[in-house]
Structure 1
C-alpha cells in the first residue's frame, strides 16, 4: 500500500466534558507527556466568530455548530 506523505502522523485526541470537570488540567498534563498541540475549541470558536454569545451559568461560549462545521 502506498503511503501519502501528507498523511497525519500523530492522532487527534478530543477531550470533552461539562464545564469545571478538569478538562484543561488533564490536557495540560497530556501535552507535557505527549508533546501534542492543544487547541481549545471554545477559544478557537470565539476567535473565528463561531459563537452565539456567552453562557453565564456555565461560564463558556455558545458554539454555533453549523458555523463550526463549515470552517
Structure 2
C-alpha cells in the first residue's frame, strides 16, 4: 500500500477518533443507540487509516495529503 496521508492528516484523524471515543463512552451524547455504534465505527476507521497511512477514499478520489509521496 502506498501512503497517501501526511503527518498532520494522520494526527488529526487520531484526535478526532479520540474525541469520538470520548463521546461514545464518557458522555451521554451517543448514548447506547445508533450514534454510539456510528461513533465507534468512524473512530475505528480513522485509527486504522491513521496508523496505516493510507485512506481508501483518498485513493478513489485521487487525493494525497503527504508532501513526500
Question: Is the structural similarity TM-score above 0.5?
Answer: no
For the pair shown, the structure with the greater C-alpha radius of gyration is 1
Structure with higher helix content: 2
TM-score where L is the length of structure 2: 0.28
Structure with higher strand content: 1
Structure scoring higher RCO (CA < 8 A, sep ≥ 6) equals 2
TM-score where L is the length of structure 1: 0.28
